[in-house]
């Protein structure tokens, strides 16, 4: 009897510490900035800020605010994911190594960065395509932001002009960080 109780406690403890299930929105494998495949399911249970970035844009200074958010809220469960894109004005012409060096040298970026991708309608990678369907909004320029709740079921969209450290963005992040689990169902809209 004691052995069965012991096994039950072990199983309950293991279940309590198991990784959260992967929501469909995050069920994508993408390459990080070094070319290594990364499954976005690893970020399930976190509040995720997804940003299409560029090194030669008027909004490039937002890297500083993105890094600041990551440093301030990372321990509370926020992760920033940077996706360089060259879709707008050719403002991200460099290769992945150049982009990585630029971000680390100029903005001390240490949040996850991924290989250069497309984000516009005829060039969007599958993850950004799902984000666009979920929100009904596509990036119109560099530094468009998608904020995903812990459940991976609720997604908000913020245009490039919304600064990462703006009151609007910080309030949205803090609200999602306080919510332990999402109660909204994600409905992917058709493009």
Reply yes or no on whether 57 is catalytic.
yes
Return phi, psi of residue 182, to 5°: -75, 150
Nearest to 112 by CA among 6, 11, 17, 33: 33
- Under a CB-based contact definition with an 8 Å cutoff, are residues 14 and 29 in contact? no
Q: Among 22, 41, 57, 103, which one carries the catalytic annotation?
A: 57
Does residue 15 come out as left (phi exceeding 0), alpha (psi in the -120 to 50 range) or beta? alpha
Does residue 77 come out as left (phi exceeding 0), alpha (psi in the -120 to 50 range) or beta? left
Say which DSSP state 85 is in. Answer: B
Catalytic sites, residue numbers: 57
């Amino acid at each position: 009897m004691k052995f069965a109780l012991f096994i039950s406690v072990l199983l309950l403890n293991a279940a309590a510490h198991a990784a959260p299930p992967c929501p469909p929105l995050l069920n994508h494998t993408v390459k990080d900035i070094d070319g290594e495949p990364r499954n976005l399911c690893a970020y399930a249970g976190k509040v995720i800020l997804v940003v299409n970035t560029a090194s030669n844009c008027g909004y490039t200074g937002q890297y500083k605010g993105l890094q600041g958010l990551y440093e301030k809220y990372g321990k509370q469960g926020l992760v920033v994911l940077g996706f360089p894109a060259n879709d707008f004005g050719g403002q991200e012409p460099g290769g992945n190594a150049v982009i990585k060096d630029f971000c680390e040298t100029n903005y001390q970026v240490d949040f996850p960065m991924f290989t250069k991708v497309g984000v516009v309608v005829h060039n969007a990678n599958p993850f950004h395509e799902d984000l666009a369907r979920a929100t009904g909004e596509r990036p119109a320029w560099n530094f468009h932001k998608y904020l995903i709740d812990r459940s991976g079921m609720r997604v908000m969209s913020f245009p490039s002009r919304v600064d990462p450290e703006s009151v609007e963005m910080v309030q949205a992040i803090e609200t999602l960080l306080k919510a332990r689990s999402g109660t909204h169902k994600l409905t992917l809209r058709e493009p």
